[in-house]
Structure 1
Amino acid sequence: MTQKQSKGTAVVTGASSGIGAVYADRLAKRGYDMVLVARNEHRLQALATRLRADTGCAVRVAKADLTDKSDLARIEALLKDDATISLLVNNAGFGSVTPLLASDVDTMKSMIDLNVTAPTRLAYAAVPAMVKRGGGTVINISSVVAIGPEVLNGVYGASKAFVLALTQSMQHELADKGIRVQAVLPGATDTEGWDIAGMPKGQRPPSWIMPAEDMVDAALAGFDAGEVVTIPPLQDGDDWTRYEAGRNELRQRFAHSRPGPRYLT
């Protein structure tokens, strides 16, 4: 067992498996105490036992369904009231590959509740408390479909575009207040989420799929490098730099009192 000086407490949502469980492992090894949030308490307890044995960190389990208002409110209260919390990983979410005409709108509403409403409310709970404490970090797990909404289900793409936009806005507003933010945009990652989304493992080309461990390690390397947006599968980081430069140049051209000439008749 390795003993480490705590860097505060990290809260990871969706921590029972996949990306969230790997984040919990890596952050515990970096010296954070942990709060593990998910619906599956059995898996959370097993992970907590392993992390305590491997790292010596303090680990708490918070069983919660973040689409349930009372459960979500309980995690919000934790983020506001626990003065040890220094890092939030907004990871809980689910996806879909079905097109609009084949999708159930109530399932889409649940996706919005988990992918959009929950991380928004948790960020709004965590950040003011972190500012009062003198600093903190929020890592939001988005997806490459945030900039490619045509690839999978449109509501899923829109939800992840929201997460990216929220993160960029947070960076703009909070950089001078001691708050670090990062959006992580995974590509296809080897997790159970694909089965839930409707594309079981046998239907996915192996060349698409990145192990969750590699994805998280790359995301943390991007965090260490100071990136606000980290895209682990992107092979040339300059591609994103050029994309962002073009976007920022374009947004400078919107302040006009009259429509563009092409619209004048």
Structure 2
Amino acid sequence: MNQSRQPGTALITGASSGIGAIYADRLAARGYDLILVARNEERLQDVAGRVRQAHGRGVTIVRADLGRRDDLARVEEILRTDPAITLLVNNAGFGAVTPLLETDVDRMERIIDINVTAPTRLAYAAAPAFVARGGGTIVNIASIVGIGIEIMNGVYGASKAYVLALTQSLHHELADKGVRAQAVLPGATATDFWDTAGLPHAHLPDGIVMPADAMVDAALVGLDLGEVVTIPPLQDGAGWTAYEAARKALAQQFGHATPAPRYRNAA
């Protein structure tokens, strides 16, 4: 990221705690003013106060539940109309650890609202505005379960697979228009996400739980390096390179007007 000039304003969702609050601190340290979005106004005020004191940046808070269409629409309008915004961090989200047969479908719909619908609509608000302004960056917090879909609840994994695919599509369509897109895929991270999901991270093996500040710092290094997909816990980056190459090669084999031989002349 070019820090030689004022970077503008970053809008961060889910900014009242955990990963979002750390992004607020780190981006303010890089010179960004902030718009912090979350449901809990008291926590937002606490984060805003710490950021102002530590970094002297301008901070605006927006109390919004992104599962409510009217609240979501207010945030969309900010992205469309505030010319200072140069960075969107789609961080708000929650998950579940229970299997399908033990999970309430209304809770799953809530996951889709927050993890899929909200970042989609915010990206659709930000992207045209960024193109019109001559550039901008969209950071989407996905998860390793977007690839390892068997790790956790299937709807949660599917929602994060969607976020990964959306980010790659944004990069494909908008990179030549000056808009950057990055998907960040954390593994188990020490935040209260796990309490909401139903399995506090203290119950997980210590060796797999990354401190939240280390995760965000790694994600920002990945952004500085120009990565479209950043996977902080993946120790050998060549594994992702090979995975992506195999995916793209396979995609070139789908253009046929007739079924494959194994599907012909079935009994």
* TM-score of the pair, normalised by structure 2: 0.97
Residue 54 of structure 1 deviates from its aligned partner by: 1.0
Computed over aligned residues only, the root mean square deviation of the Cα atoms, in angstroms, reads: 0.9
Corresponding residue of 2:157: 157
Corresponding residue of 2:129: 129
Counterpart amino acid of 1:218? A
Corresponding residue of 1:261: 261
Secondary structure, aligned partner of 1:51: helix
Q: Does 1:33 align with 2:33?
A: yes
Q: Does 1:54 align with 2:45?
A: no
Distance (Å, rounded) in 1 between the aligned partners of 2:257 and 2:78: 46
Counterpart amino acid of 1:140? N
Is the contact made by 1:140 and 1:167 (CA closer than 8 Å) also made in structure 2?
yes
Secondary structure, aligned partner of 2:12: strand
Residue 14 of structure 1 deviates from its aligned partner by: 0.2
Residue 161 of structure 1 deviates from its aligned partner by: 0.2
Q: Does 1:76 align with 2:73?
A: no
Deviations 1:194-225 (A, max 9, x none): 01111123321111100000000000001100
Deviations 1:73-115 (A, max 9, x none): 0000000010100000000000110000000000000000000
* Identical aligned residues as a percent: 65
Runs of 4+ in structure 1 over 6 Å off: none
Q: Where does structure 2 lack aligned partners over 5 or more consecutive residues?
A: none
Residue 49 of structure 1 deviates from its aligned partner by: 1.0
Deviations 1:32-67 (A, max 9, x none): 000000011111111111111111110000010000
Matched ranges for 1:44-123 at <5 A: 44-123=44-123
What is the number of residues matched between the two proteins? 262
Secondary structure, aligned partner of 1:183: strand
Is the contact made by 2:79 and 2:85 (CA closer than 8 Å) also made in structure 1?
yes
Distance (Å, rounded) in 1 between the aligned partners of 2:182 and 2:5: 24
Distance (Å, rounded) in 1 between the aligned partners of 2:185 and 2:201: 20
Counterpart amino acid of 1:49? G
Distance (Å, rounded) in 2 between the aligned partners of 1:171 and 1:39: 29
Corresponding residue of 1:211: 211
Residue 5 of structure 1 deviates from its aligned partner by: 6.2
Counterpart amino acid of 1:101? L
Is the contact made by 1:6 and 1:57 (CA closer than 8 Å) also made in structure 2?
no
Distance (Å, rounded) in 2 between the aligned partners of 1:21 and 1:49: 11
> Cα–Cα, structure 1 residues 5 and 245, in superposed 2: closer, same or farther, change >3 Å?
closer
Residue 7 of structure 1 deviates from its aligned partner by: 1.2
Is the contact made by 2:144 and 2:185 (CA closer than 8 Å) also made in structure 1?
yes
Deviations 1:128-158 (A, max 9, x none): 0111010000000000000011110000000
Q: Where does structure 1 lack aligned partners over 5 or more consecutive residues?
A: none
Secondary structure, aligned partner of 1:83: coil
Secondary structure, aligned partner of 1:257: coil
Is the contact made by 1:28 and 1:34 (CA closer than 8 Å) also made in structure 2?
yes
Distance (Å, rounded) in 2 between the aligned partners of 1:116 and 1:246: 26
Is the contact made by 1:6 and 1:33 (CA closer than 8 Å) also made in structure 2?
no
Corresponding residue of 2:243: 243
Corresponding residue of 1:9: 9
Counterpart amino acid of 2:246? G
* TM-score of the pair, normalised by structure 1: 0.98
> Cα–Cα, structure 1 residues 5 and 253, in superposed 2: closer, same or farther, change >3 Å?
closer
Counterpart amino acid of 1:84? A
